[in-house]
């Protein structure tokens, strides 16, 4: 077993999972033995890593903390790879074989940028299992008209099926965070139920601008963009639009 002497670092927003019951629930949900290639983001002290190393056919872990890399390194051999990298700069297309199953207890301060980064690689990812702040999971799964519904909801729901799995209390971590956590499964669609988008960058820009000024009507929020807005939507606000509405907006221009 690994010695657990390394302290959590605030600059990496580290909270180490130690609750064995929660660890088992995550391991059971991932079902690593049935996956082609399991990739763990931020393995930390190895709470999930040791079991995944035993179960996964091919396993990779991405870690930025050099002290943790030294702690983990002796356990990586054969078909397992330990990568020192900032996940926000890492090119997942370099990993083989595919498809990838990506898991991780994501740093809460950069969880949304990590999610947006991973969406770029949706074609080579079959599933993602993440521990996130509960509020982030509720935002990803939110419906139009709710206070949680926003840019993250639209972007994630267009690409993935969102399945919140279970709550995780602060006591499951060391140090204990100030918020509740939740494990979520994201499964990228092979073909989005919302249809194809001719220009995904335009779609992303429309969603970003609309929610960037969510109290304004679309007519005003999208004024800076060259967007033709159907008359039925001009007086609506971003939070009232469905994912389908945003797809139609992007494709109509």
pLDDT for 253 equals 63
What CATH architecture does domain 10-188 belong to? 3-Layer(aba) Sandwich (3.40)
For the entire predicted model, the pTM comes to 0.90
Residue 142, SS3 per DSSP: coil
Rounded Cα–Cα distance for residues 14 and 18 (Å): 13
Token pair for residue 88? 């926000």
Which has more confidence, 8 or 45? Answer: 45
pLDDT for 1 equals 41
Domain at 200-251, CATH homologous superfamily? rRNA adenine dimethylase, C-terminal domain (1.10.8.100)
Question: Is pLDDT of 103 > 90?
Answer: yes
Q: Find residue 130's DSSP bridge partners.
A: 104, 184
Rounded Cα–Cα distance for residues 207 and 151 (Å): 6
Rounded Cα–Cα distance for residues 51 and 28 (Å): 11
Rounded Cα–Cα distance for residues 35 and 125 (Å): 11
Rank 7-11, 160-164, 173-177, 196-200 by mean pLDDT and report only the highest. Answer: 160-164
Rounded Cα–Cα distance for residues 79 and 84 (Å): 17
Rounded Cα–Cα distance for residues 188 and 51 (Å): 25
Question: Is pLDDT of 12 > 50?
Answer: no
Share of the chain above pLDDT 70, in %: 94
137-152 average pLDDT score: 97
Q: Where are the domains of the chain?
A: 10-188, 200-251
């Amino acid at each position: 077993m690994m010695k657990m002497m390394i302290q959590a670092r605030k600059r990496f927003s580290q909270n180490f999972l130690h609750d064995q019951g929660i660890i088992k629930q995550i391991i059971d949900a991932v079902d690593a033995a049935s996956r082609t290639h399991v990739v763990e983001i931020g393995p930390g002290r190895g709470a999930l890593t040791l079991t995944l190393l035993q179960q996964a056919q091919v396993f990779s872990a991405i870690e930025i903390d050099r002290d943790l890399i030294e702690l983990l390194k002796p356990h990586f051999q054969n078909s397992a790879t330990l990568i020192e990298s900032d996940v926000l700069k890492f090119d997942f297309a370099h990993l083989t074989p595919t498809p990838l199953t990506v898991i991780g207890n994501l740093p809460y301060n950069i969880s949304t940028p990590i999610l947006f980064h991973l969406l770029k690689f949706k074609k080579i990812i079959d599933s993602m299992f993440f521990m996130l702040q509960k509020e982030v999971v509720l935002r990803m799964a939110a419906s139009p008209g709710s206070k949680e519904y926003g840019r993250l909801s639209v972007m994630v729901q267009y690409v993935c099926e969102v399945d919140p799995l279970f709550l995780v209390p602060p006591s499951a971590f060391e140090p204990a965070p100030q918020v509740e956590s939740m494990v979520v499964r994201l499964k990228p669609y092979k073909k989005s139920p919302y249809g194809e988008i001719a220009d995904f960058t335009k779609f992303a820009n429309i969603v970003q601008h609309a929610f960037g000024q969510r109290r304004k009507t679309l007519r005003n929020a999208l004024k800076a963009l060259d967007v033709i807005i159907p008359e039925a939507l001009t007086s609506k606000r971003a939070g009232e639009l469905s994912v389908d509405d945003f797809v139609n907006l992007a494709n109509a221009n």
